[in-house]
Structure 1
Amino acid sequence: MSPPALCDGLCQNGGSCVNPDTCTCQQGFTGKRCETDIDECTDGFVECDSRAICVNLPGWYHCECRDGYHDNGMFSANGESCEDIDECATDRHSCANDTVCFNVDGGYDCRCPHGKNCTGDCNHDNKHKHNGQIWVLDNDRCSVCSCQSGLVMCRRMVCDCESTTADLFCCPECNPGLSSKCLHQNRLITYSSGDTWVENCQQCQCM
């Protein structure tokens, strides 16, 4: 029986000494002592799917799904089983509350439904109003406006006659002394029950 082959130093990474100073390497390794890992990714041995990226491993490689994709369970070697993650449906996005999440291939997009920015602020009468801000119109103290997610909404003041702070100018119905009187459209003149007047060619009467 011939003596076992001797190599100058041990063969590495599972390599076998087959002749004096000669190692046979395992797949994925090269070098005199099998000390060098073959980078299949950079050496052009592997072509992964466009939705995957090649990751070199000791003695091997792996086509790993790119960010925004996950494997559908088929675990194909070249990454063909990688499919898009719907970050919007799975709530894996970072869109702010005043933006809308739109899923795109390999990611998502936060879009602003109210314009170029997503602060939710408003511009009213050339004045900047913050999202959630409430104010009274300069030329009509009986109208209240609010800024809601970039939209301005105005309405007549809601009269609460139970409140001690009710504005009797805007809410004459809350004034017991005017219960039988009417307020002119210009809100400057009051009429007693039965009084009539003309406004825009129309006959008006306080009932």
Structure 2
Amino acid sequence: MSEWSVWGSCSATCGPHGYKTRTRNITRESQCGGQTCSNDLVQTSTCNRECLNGGNVTTTECSCKAGWAGACCETDVKECQANLHNCDVHADCINTFGGFHCICKEGYTGDGITCLNINECNASTTCHTRATCTDNQGSYTCACDDGYTGDGQSCNDTDECSEAQDDCDISATCQNTEGSYTCTCNAGYTGNGTSCQNLNECDSDMNDCDRNADCV
């Protein structure tokens, strides 16, 4: 019999089915009643029977840990793309090798599994001091107060008088103020400025006519 050959290459790089073989040959048959040569000419041995990334090998397959798949547990599962995650609807799912993690989106706070809206209006915002902050899901809006114009982050006083946005009486004078305006009835009229009536000075002794003159 010849010596055993070196072991051949393994039939698999991983998994439960890898094997390798080696052989030997009968160099000369038995003669003159000598002992018959053994038929054991091939030997087989297991090899590379393991699973990757912490998987467990069985007699038939690899039992992969969560986050891994494939015949040898060599493939990372894309939980985020396959919607196999438990991230909150207001969180971003970030895939990692063998797993994933969740991060709450801007405007929300939490561990990613649970995300709660942040009320930015209770903290520092970019709203102008003359604007009102309104909270909404994940963000907020700024709106200039009455009497001011702008985008909420920049607000300027509105001149209601020059822009004809006042409700002063036609016989009143409009005076612009910061964030508002006032109406004052003109001389010869009485009222609250938004409603002015003619004042009869002759009947109310509010004239400076001589006592020997007629007031008209």
TM-score, scaled relative to structure 2: 0.47
User: Which structure's CA Rg is the greater one?
Assistant: 2
More strand by share: 1
TM-score, scaled relative to structure 1: 0.48
